[in-house]
Structure 1
Amino acid sequence: MRNSPTFVFVHGAFANSFSFAPLQAELALHGHRSVAVDLPGHGFEATFPVAYQAPQDLGALAAEPGSIKGVTLADNAARVIDVLERARQHGPTILVAHSRGGVTVTAAANARPELVDRIVYVSAWCPVDLAVGDYYAQPEMADVDAGAFAAALVGNPAELGLLRTNFRTADPAVLAAFKRAFAADLTDQEFRVFLNTFQPDENLDVGTSDDRARAATWGRVPRTYVRLADDASLPLAVQDRMIREADALTPDNPFDVRTLEGSHLRWLVHPGPAAELLADLAAS
């Protein structure tokens, strides 16, 4: 088993390791081991205030401290590096990121490329020419509807030191907007189940221009980009732009590009095709 790779999964914003459980089960049935990382302030380290329960007290929720306050991108990368160091004792590692998790795995590979045998970005941020925040002002993001998050935001991020979102809202307009953004091809039931795995708080630090992919370190690691064809929150145009920019940075080590049909969350709810794709990468 030593030559068999360990998949290391890194979640996106407001998510946690729990969302990878169905995919990990499918991978196990393909004969592969895996570990899903909870970044600092996520999973059982997250804050779920009493005011977040029903009946909700949004006034109190807006002022409640959160454990994720002060967590930085460097903290996230350190957590992933610790897992990679331990997993690497048992053989190769394949580092898989979803969504905002791509920023973290890029930072980890910038710092410790020798720990990673392949990076897989699944509709994940791979900042190359710009810092992540600057991509939001680009034409490729023009059709992304940020209204759902704005409407569900609780409290002042600058005062709280974190982003807090009320995923337990019953506002039908906000729920519909969330579904369009992340899960338009899921049933309403599947969508609500996934929504209830989200945690309310996320850290503010998504890095700066200094945290973009570096050719000398990150650029040495073989990489795959899995495009999600129907992703409305990170559109194909943005995914393809990051692929082009990365390939221009390291033309001798371009992305291996794959595509899965579906929305931002479908591959996690119906993980069969993704598990087959990852198993194929492990065998290559």
Structure 2
Amino acid sequence: MQPTFILVHGAFSNSFSFAPLQAELGLLGHRSVAVDLPGHGFQATYTRAYQTPQDAEGLATTPGSLKGVTLADNADHLIGILERAKRNGPVILVAHSRGGITVTAAANARPDLIDRLVYVSAWAPVDLDVNDYYTAPEMATVDPNAFASALAANPADLGLLRVNFRTADPVALAALKAAFLADGTDEEFLTFLNTFQPDENLDVGGSADRAQTATWGRIPKTYIRLAEDASLPLALQDRLIHEGNALTPDNPYDVRTLKGSHLKWLTDPAPTARILGEVAALLDPSAPA
């Protein structure tokens, strides 16, 4: 039976970012569903202060729908989607970036709903909480100013992360491009930036949300490394793979590698679609590749 790819976005993103990938998957004969986590997509908050001319004070103080949204909320929402998808056959759950935290939490809770996990340069925490990985040596090359230079509000005051992706500050734009799409054109970068939403929730989970042997650990899994990723460096991706393999040595990652930055796989999706087709064939040899 044909599997369904369930695609889970990263921070400040939404289902819209997967449209080119879904087109490629569809043309290869695959079925896919792109998820909007709570407070994302058409549920996102775009304040009038975010419009031009921007109101910096209003942007820093206007409430957003993501205040109070937790990792548990994200996982519960995703589990509801997985339950519906599973009625139609096997499910391959694909996570990008921060979406990996939600996917890992859902896999811990309901491994019965997932036939294969795919992390695309995504967080799959094992030994540490996500925030603690940021102080690890593998993250030493990450530019701390990539988001900080465009931060629009104090997260403690607003109860969420708010970044001004519509900034005209050349320093902030250069830092964001270097972090996420250094190998793209300026036009591609600005186009992608305009698909981002300004708000993201604060909760990235704790020790209970790390990968668990008895649940997450029994699901077959693939990790797609992004070789030129500056925001989730290859060294950190490899550490996550190593830790996952150590946790479940009898169920190691199937590891693939793509050239490109954190977002290039979404702006140039054909290579990723081909890999996902190969992953589907691991689940079902009769599936289109």
Residue aligning to 1:228: 226
Consecutive unaligned residues in structure 1, runs of 5 or more: none
Partner amino acid, structure 2, of 1:51? A
Q: Percent identity?
A: 72
Residue aligning to 1:121: 119
Quote the Cα distance in structure 2 between the aligned partners of 1:228 and 1:151: 25
Residue aligning to 1:35: 33
Quote the Cα distance in structure 1 between the aligned partners of 2:136 and 2:279: 32
Quote the Cα distance in structure 1 between the aligned partners of 2:160 and 2:171: 24
Quote the Cα distance in structure 2 between the aligned partners of 1:97 and 1:151: 27
Consecutive unaligned residues in structure 2, runs of 5 or more: 283-289
Give the 5 Å matches for 1:210-229.
Answer: 210-229=208-227
Residue aligning to 2:266: 268
Residue aligning to 1:51: 49
Partner amino acid, structure 1, of 2:259? E
Quote the Cα distance in structure 2 between the aligned partners of 1:93 and 1:194: 28
Partner amino acid, structure 1, of 2:62? E
State the Cα deviation string for residues 170-200 of structure 1 (Å, max 9, x = none).
0011101100000000000000000000000
Would you say how many aligned residue pairs link Structure 1 and Structure 2? 282
Partner amino acid, structure 1, of 2:210? R
Residue aligning to 1:247: 245
Work out which of the residue numbers 70, 73, 79 in structure 1 matches 2:71.
73
- 1:148 positional shift: 2.2
Quote the Cα distance in structure 2 between the aligned partners of 1:133 and 1:210: 14
Partner amino acid, structure 1, of 2:67? K
User: Once superposed, what is the RMSD of the aligned Cα atoms?
Assistant: 0.5
Q: Runs ≥4 in structure 1, deviation > 3 angstroms? A: none
Work out which of the residue numbers 190, 193, 213 in structure 2 matches 1:192.
190
Quote the Cα distance in structure 2 between the aligned partners of 1:154 and 1:197: 17
Work out which of the residue numbers 152, 155, 165 in structure 2 matches 1:154.
152
Partner amino acid, structure 1, of 2:26? A
- 1:146 positional shift: 1.6
Partner amino acid, structure 1, of 2:273? A
TM-score (structure 1 length as normaliser): 0.99
Residue aligning to 1:136: 134
TM-score (structure 2 length as normaliser): 0.97
Quote the Cα distance in structure 2 between the aligned partners of 1:45 and 1:94: 25
Secondary structure of the residue that 1:267 maps to in structure 2? helix
